[in-house]
A and B are shown apart, each in its own frame.
Chain A
């Protein structure tokens, strides 16, 4: 019982450490908000890449390593799991709110094509380009406030 409680405790501590690791390209989100942490136990942290060629993947692994080391978890390994593939559905509710506050429209649920402007809340928006500054984003524009914005692509 004692050992089990301690393991749970370690797990909770690891989750807290991970909640403090920002995504390098969208620093408003932690790796936990982004939904790329698959599993955590006393000996390992399992993460998943967001996009096949996302250059942030290696940076994320390094940042998590540094955070774990700094918190004293030097023996906790980081493993990568590809399957099943990450999807934007795994971005947490808190993560979606943080994206919006940061000026990035969160991914639209499947079947919904209307996108809300993260600046003014208008639904009168249009796509400028399906590809943007990072693999996960598309460029959109608001036809009311006329501001361009990024949309986190549904994936």
Chain B
């Protein structure tokens, strides 16, 4: 008799194919989002990441309308939006927020129309919720090959460009002086970002994708000292939070006997990421407190 594991891992958790697919996709996407996210945070482009995820709404609602696999719709919309941002001038310091904001507004306007058409044609009210907030449990095995392909492209771009991208993210001036093509690298990074955000949007929902992109990365930056370790830590934090979120959502089936439904996985994942970020701040907070402790007070000679 060993009640504790059974209480945490509800019966059927490990044998459910829905859980297996969700766990696999979440792990792959968490690794990609972690690696890309570290650069997103260093470059201060979280807003662009958020916008590309939101525009995934346009792509997914469009895909639903014409009965195409949702990930195709999200990925095409995100990459196209990233291309327009690049053209408008996201790489100019002052153009960054403007380019992002304009593309975001236009994209969501189209999404409003597409979602309206979806609900009219299919008369399903749950569509909007699924698109915007997503669910790893809703992923079918047919989506896995495309998830893998897009992940390899995005992660591959980041790993190949790692060193020049790191220097140009830290100091474009220093990179340019060494003959590194800063503009071209920025465009390559933007493509990796669009794909990573599309994957995150597909997995945990379009407007929650930022949490998976920025959350584990920002947490990792607090905990590590070197860029390579930050990428590794962000990936691990992403896997841990998504898997724990899956377990908790699966368990939540039993929380209300009458409903027979689970709470959204995305809620648990995003909440766990947020808690991890707060917890990661504790060591730095304690260091700061220690450095201002009375022992440092000036002593009279």
Same assembly: no
A residues whose Cβ falls under 8 Å from a Cβ of B = none
B residues whose Cβ falls under 8 Å from a Cβ of A = none
